[in-house]
């Protein structure tokens, strides 16, 4: 089953968040058979050239992992270029109104339903399968809106109900910051905001997700009602793994010399 079909059925899915720009990181993560990886180009120096190489790397892995690109902004020009790389979908930050969500969806659709420009690209095997891709792209492309501001929370019911939107994503860092409670993950205000997004999404039969960096957070958010989760980030895995190895060495030295 494709990722788009999985999310539209609200079946469980697990992804991994990638910020490092080396295609090998994308490929080895995909080899672990995550349902998807998120390639971040909002908070990284990654370029369109980076994206296409990382999408190729994900496709090269011996798995069914799909690549989603987190956009720098809700920009139809960027959406068009990202999808032309062959990425399976996009996730847009700071969506605050239904109109903005509609713009996002329209950016992923070819005319007459949307505004995406038609051209042969990697997504259509450089035009060799253009007609088929034109007919089927809307069924396969995943479109995710990030809810991470007070205004987004106020309008979350209308955003969740936008036709063609596959999922909402709670951006925990930005949402808590915009609420004036950055990092207070256990505060009543933050958890109420999380619950509001989950409830609005499910009322519209729309999937909902978030990022979980720690294992405890993965369990916590799954039990709270999220349909799918971005489980960890490449940078966190490098940091925690390196810290653990260094600490193990230091403990062994201390034990040997005691």
Domain boundaries, the chain: 3-257
CA distance linking residue 114 with residue 104, whole number of Å: 10
Taking phi first (over 0 means left), then psi (-120 to 50 degrees means alpha), and beta for anything else, what does residue 23 get? alpha
Q: Does domain 3-257 have CATH number 3.20.20.60?
A: yes
Which helix (H) or strand (E) is 69 found in, with range? strand 66-70
Asked if 94 contacts 74 with a C-beta cutoff of 8 angstroms, the reply is: yes
Q: What is the DSSP string of 46-60?
A: --HHHHHHHHHHHHH
pTM as predicted = 0.96
The 10s digit of each residue's pLDDT in 201-242 is 999 999 999 999 999 999 999 999 999 999 999 999 999 999
Mean pLDDT of the chain: 97
pLDDT at position 202, please? 98
Write b or e for each residue in 144-155: b if 16 or more Cβ atoms lie within 10 A of its Cβ, otherwise e: bbbbbbeebbeb
Percent of the chain beyond pLDDT 70?
100
The 10s digit of each residue's pLDDT in 74-117 is 999 999 999 999 999 999 999 999 999 999 999 999 999 999 99
Annotated catalytic sites, by residue?
Answer: 43
**Whether pLDDT at 258 is above 90:** no
């Amino acid at each position: 089953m494709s990722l788009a079909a999985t999310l539209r059925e609200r079946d469980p899915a697990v992804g991994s968040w990638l910020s490092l720009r080396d295609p090998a990181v994308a490929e080895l993560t995909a080899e672990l058979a995550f349902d998807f990886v998120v390639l971040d180009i909002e908070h990284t120096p990654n370029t369109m050239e980076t994206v296409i190489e990382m999408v190729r790397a994900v496709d090269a892995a011996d798995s069914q992992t799909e690549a989603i690109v987190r956009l720098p902004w809700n920009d139809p020009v960027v959406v068009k270029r990202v999808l032309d790389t062959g990425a399976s979908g996009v996730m847009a930050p700071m969506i605050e109104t239904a109109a903005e969500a509609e713009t996002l969806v329209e950016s992923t659709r070819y005319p007459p339903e949307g505004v995406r420009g038609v051209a042969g690209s990697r997504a259509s095997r450089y035009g060799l399968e253009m007609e088929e891709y034109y007919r089927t792209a809307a069924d396969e492309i995943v479109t995710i809106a990030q809810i991470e501001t007070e205004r987004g929370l106020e309008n979350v019911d209308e955003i969740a109900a936008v036709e063609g939107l596959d999922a909402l994503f709670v951006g925990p860092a930005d949402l808590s910051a915009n609420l004036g409670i950055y990092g207070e993950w256990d505060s009543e205000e933050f958890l109420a905001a999380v619950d509001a997004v989950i409830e609005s999404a499910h009322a519209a039969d729309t999937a909902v997700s978030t990022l979980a960096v720690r294992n405890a957070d993965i369990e916590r958010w799954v039990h709270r009602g999220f349909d799918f989760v971005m489980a960890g980030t490449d940078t966190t895995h490098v940091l925690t793994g390196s810290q653990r190895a260094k600490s193990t060495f230091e403990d062994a030295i201390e034990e040997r010399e005691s």
